[in-house]
Every structure is written in C-alpha cells, then in structure tokens.
C-alpha cells in the first residue's frame, strides 16, 4: 500500500512539472515565435461581406391606405381639434375608401395620427386621422398626370414615362378639376358603350355634378365616341379611347397618385 501511494505521488509530480513547463500555472514563460509556427492555421471566416449596393432613394414612392372603420378627419393631430370631414369605410362606388398618406405624427394624447388627402371639396383638403382607424400601408412607384392644356394623359413609373394617350376632359360648363388626387378603384361593372370596357374611380371631385354614376367624382373611362378625342367634351370625367384604357389597365395600380393640371 505504501509503495502504491509513493508511486502515485511520483506520477502526479511528473505531470505537474510537465504542465508548468508547457506554460500552465504560476511560473509560465513568455511564448516565442516558434510556439506560434507550430499552431495550425486559423479556419476561414464564415462571415462573408458582399459588395455594397446602392439603395433606392424612394423619390418616386408614395403610400396609401384605406379607411378601416368610419372616422372623423381633424384639422390637427388631436381629437379635440376641429373636424374637417367625416370618412366612411366605403367610397360611393362601394369600394374601399382609399386615402393618400402624407405623414404620421404622435399626438399629445399618445395616439398615432396620420395626415391624408381628403376626397372632399374644396379639392386639396387634408386632415388628420387616428392610425387605428386605417388599414395597412401600401406603396406604389407610379404617377398618372393629366395635362388639360395638352389634352393628354401620361403614366410614369419610377420617373419614366410608360404610357401616353390623348384624352377628353370636361367642357367649360363642366370642368375637370385641377389638383392632387389618387386612383382609388378599378371597376368593370360599369362596362358599357358609354363607359367603355373598364373604368377607374378617383378621389377628384367636381364642384358641379359629373357624369360619373355616383355623382360628383371624376372617373377615368373609355368611350363610344373615340373620334371626339382629344377634346373638351365630357361632363368632367376623363375619357380615353377604349384601346388606350385597356393598355392603361395593365399598367395602372390602385393607389397611384393622380395629378390634374
């Protein structure tokens, strides 16, 4: 037993001496270059950083949303401020009531408020709506411009023209209003010789009754009198030849800003 104990103690001493000589314990030495040459090479990094890419500036992007529940639009982002419009969840055509997003801000009441363009008279009206009354945001990079002097509609995508066609607009007695609006619906149920194969509802309103079925709003639609275009021939709506509005249908998303100038 004593012999076994002495042997065990001797082996422990040898092991401790080896560890100390390898640099473990209180008496470790400074490593030299030969120690590092003996180490295996470091493995390749698993992190691969790709080349930087330029992000879109968002210059041509615009956002829109819809009214989720009937609500009031206020003059300022505060429920105590003046009500400037009452907004229903549906547009007169029965489609969601689409609004163009301008900016968002936190109110003094702690709620998030959104400034939107209002589909009311006078054109150009804006108001603040509580965020909780609105649906999710959607984004488009298109912009439809109707030039009343040139009697032409042009659609831009990311700043580049992708469509252009002659149009008919309102007469002096039934003018097509100028301003900033949005395309809020695409409708096929109005398909007829008068309205053509497809129609678009907009948030533009006329101060006089237009020929739009739901009255007062400006529609974009086809025509059974293409020989009248271009011209000032409508009751305020914007008319295109049927072949042109079918081309436009394939390019024009809902929510597209509409400038009438």
235 is catalytic: no
Whole-number Å distance between alpha carbons of 182 and 203: 6
253, 142 Cβ separation under 8 angstroms: yes
Q: What is the rounded radius of gyration, in angstroms, for the C-alpha atoms of the chain?
A: 35
Element at 102 (helix H, strand E): strand 98-106
CB within 8 Å of 88: residues ≥ 6 apart = 67, 70, 97
74 is catalytic: no
* Catalytic residue chosen out of the listed positions 74, 143, 221, 235: 221
Where b means 16+ CB within 10 Å and e means fewer, 213-242 reads eeebbbbbbbbeebeebbeebbbbbbbbbb
Q: DSSP letter at 29?
A: P
174, 181 Cβ separation under 8 angstroms: no
Report CA-CA distances (Å) from 86 to 73, 83, 182, 183. 6, 8, 18, 20
Q: What percent helix, strand, coil does the chain show, rounded to 5?
A: 15, 35, 50
By annotation, the residues acting in catalysis are 221, 237
């Amino acid at each position: 037993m004593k012999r076994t104990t002495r042997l065990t103690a001797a082996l422990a001493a040898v092991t401790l001496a080896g560890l100390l000589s390898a640099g473990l314990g209180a008496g470790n030495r400074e490593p030299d270059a030969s120690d590092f040459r003996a180490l295996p090479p470091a493995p390749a990094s698993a992190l691969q950083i790709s080349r930087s890419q330029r992000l879109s500036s968002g210059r041509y992007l615009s956002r829109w949303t819809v009214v989720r529940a009937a609500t009031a639009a206020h003059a300022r982002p505060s429920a105590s401020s003046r009500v400037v419009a009452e907004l229903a969840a549906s547009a007169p055509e029965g489609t969601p009531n689409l609004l163009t997003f301008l900016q968002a801000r936190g109110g003094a009441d702690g709620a998030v408020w959104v400034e939107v363009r209002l589909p009311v008279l006078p054109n150009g009206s804006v108001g603040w709506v509580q965020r909780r009354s609105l649906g999710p945001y959607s984004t488009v990079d298109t912009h439809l411009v109707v030039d009343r002097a040139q009697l032409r509609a042009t659609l831009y995508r990311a700043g580049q023209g992708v469509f252009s066609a002659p149009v008919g607009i309102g007469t002096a007695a039934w003018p097509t209003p100028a301003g900033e609006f949005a395309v809020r619906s695409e409708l096929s149920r109005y398909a007829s010789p008068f309205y053509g194969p497809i129609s678009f509802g907009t948030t533009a309103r006329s101060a006089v009754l237009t020929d739009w079925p739901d009255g007062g709003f400006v529609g974009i639609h086809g025509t059974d009198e293409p020989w009248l275009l271009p011209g000032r021939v409508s009751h305020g709506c914007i008319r295109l030849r049927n072949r042109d509005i079918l081309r436009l249908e394939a390019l024009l998303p809902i929510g597209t800003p509409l400038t009438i100038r």
